[in-house]
Amino acid sequence: MCGNEVILEEQAYTMSVQIGVGLIGFGMAGEFFHAPFISNVKGFLLRKIRTTNPENIQKAVKEYPRVEIVATSNSIFEDDDIQLVVIVSSNTSHFELAKKALESGKNVVVDKPFTVTTAEADELIVLAQEKNLVLSVYQNRRFSSDFRTLQYVVEKNLVGKVVELEIYYDRFRPQLKQNAWREENLPGSGILYDLGAHLIDEALVLFGRPKFVWADLAIQRQGAQVIDYFEITFIYASGLRVKLGAGMLKAQSRPHYILNGETGCYVKNSMDIQENDLKAGKRPSNTLDWGKEPTSMYGKLTYRQDGILKEMPIPSVAGDYTAYYQNIYDTLQKKTALKVQPEEARNVIRIIETAMESDNLRKEIEIKYS
């Protein structure tokens, strides 16, 4: 085979594995958490972005000048050059848009939370299986520096047998955000579905499904209509406790992770740097050492040695949300297994529903997963 034939064959192969992507939604999540990482995967081609907000249109055109901006989701569903649809719209629209995308023969990524109810999640899972399509939920915090480091501490048994984990995601936002659907009294709104979906998923990845849940939910900010505070405790058959908490009136944030075990404790105060870097204009495609934390952000391990308590920093594992979309691409190319299964995301919704039941009844509830 001559040189020109080799080049042509390589070009044909490159074209054959290129996957067109349509992005529905270009608010903060679409702009910062999806588009930069879709574009960072070789083989993905972002073809269309659906948004009607004038400000968002300007941002999309500036950053992705070769991508077509469209006003309707149907223009994405009906495009034969698009094989993957990414849904980053309001929570109440996830089910309807994901269903239409699957019915159109598209593989689908849905931003978290998956759906508002487990019934909706179950219907989408069955539909994807019937259509032999990939369906996943964007649990990007599995690929954050802080969580990957916590996984390392657990897997390496650095605190011994784990007896308790606390995860907090605190903010100080006393003022309500105007014209934001997350602040409206709609199904799936509030931080339990928002931040809670992240924290619940992290607990499930580390320790599997808890047996019982106890929850305290509240609306704390003046004029707020949706849950802006939660404290949730998971109780496992082994006796392990996992406590999850978040609030919008936390001027002094609690440590992000507190992991207690029989031989020590690991504490991580700060969170992954990717969000702040993205908002500062950085992108994974043009930033050296993307997702690598400075030493000042390292978590600390406290352990007993020779009867004396000692401390040591644990270097943070670099984070990169690109890994999520790389796995989606590899799964579509039949190269690997899907890392974020829809059934896992469905269990997150079931736990959210059970937490709301627990708060309503003011008691501990056994979780029914099916």
pLDDT of amino acid 183: 82
8 A C-beta contact, residue 202 and residue 257: no
Structural tokens at position 7: 């080049």
pLDDT confidence bin for 1, thresholds 50/70/90: very low
Q: What is the pLDDT of residues 191-232, one digit of tens each?
A: 999 999 999 999 999 999 999 999 999 999 999 999 999 999
Q: pLDDT digit string (tens) for 81-90? A: 999 999 999 9
* DSSP strands (E only) in 51-195: 68-70, 84-87, 107-111, 135-138, 162-170
* One-letter amino acid for residue 125 of the chain: I
Q: Other C-beta atoms within 10 Å of 335: how many? A: 9
Angle at alpha carbon of residue 24, lines to 23 and 25, rounded to 5°: 110
Query: Does the pLDDT value for residue 266 go beyond 80?
Result: yes
Return d(Cα 235, Cα 254) in angstroms, integer: 22
Instruction: Give the tens place of pLDDT for each residue, 312-344.
Output: 999 999 999 999 999 999 999 999 999 999 999
What is the spatial distance between Cα 318 and Cα 272, in angstroms, rounded to a whole number? 9
How far, in Å, CA of 253 to CA of 259, rounded?
17
Q: Cite the residue boundaries of each domain of the chain with CATH code 3.30.360.10.
A: 142-319+337-366
Give the pLDDT score at 292. Answer: 97
Residue 246, CA distances (Å) to 205, 253, 291 in order: 19, 9, 24
Least confident of 61-70, 178-187, 192-201, 315-324: 178-187
Q: What is the DSSP string of 320-369?
A: -THHHHHHHHHHHTTSS--SS-HHHHHHHHHHHHHHHHHHHHTS-EE---
Cβ(298)–Cβ(258) below 8 Å: no
What predicted TM-score, i.e. pTM, was given to this entire model? 0.93
pLDDT band at 30 (very low <50, low <70, confident <90, very high): very high
For residue 337 the two structure tokens come to 């297994």
Range from 31-45, 178-192, 301-315 that averages highest in pLDDT: 31-45
pLDDT at 180: 79
* Topology, domain 142-319+337-366: Dihydrodipicolinate Reductase; domain 2 (3.30.360)
Going by C-alpha positions, the residue among 339, 337, 369, 340 that lies closest to residue 353 is: 369
Asked if pLDDT for residue 60 goes beyond 70, the answer is: yes
- Dump pLDDT digits (tens) for 245-258: 999 999 999 999 99
- Look up the CATH architecture of domain 3-140: 3-Layer(aba) Sandwich (3.40)
* Helix-, strand-, coil-residue percentages of the chain, each rounded to 5: 35, 25, 40
Q: Give the integer Cα–Cα distance in Å for 159 and 20.
A: 45
Confidence of residue 13 (pLDDT cuts 50, 70, 90): very low
Residue range(s) occupied by CATH 3.40.50.720 in the chain:
3-140
Does the pLDDT at position 306 exceed 90?
no
Question: What is the model's pLDDT at position 6?
Answer: 38
At 178 the pLDDT is: 78
| Token duo for residue 174 | 């006393």
Give per-residue pLDDT as tens, 103-114: 999 999 999 999
Whether 10 has a pLDDT exceeding 80, the answer reads: no
pLDDT, tens digit (0-9, with 9 covering 90-100), for 122-170: 999 999 999 999 999 999 999 999 999 999 999 999 999 999 999 999 9
Give me the pLDDT at residue 39, please. Answer: 97
**Percent above pLDDT 90 for the chain:** 91
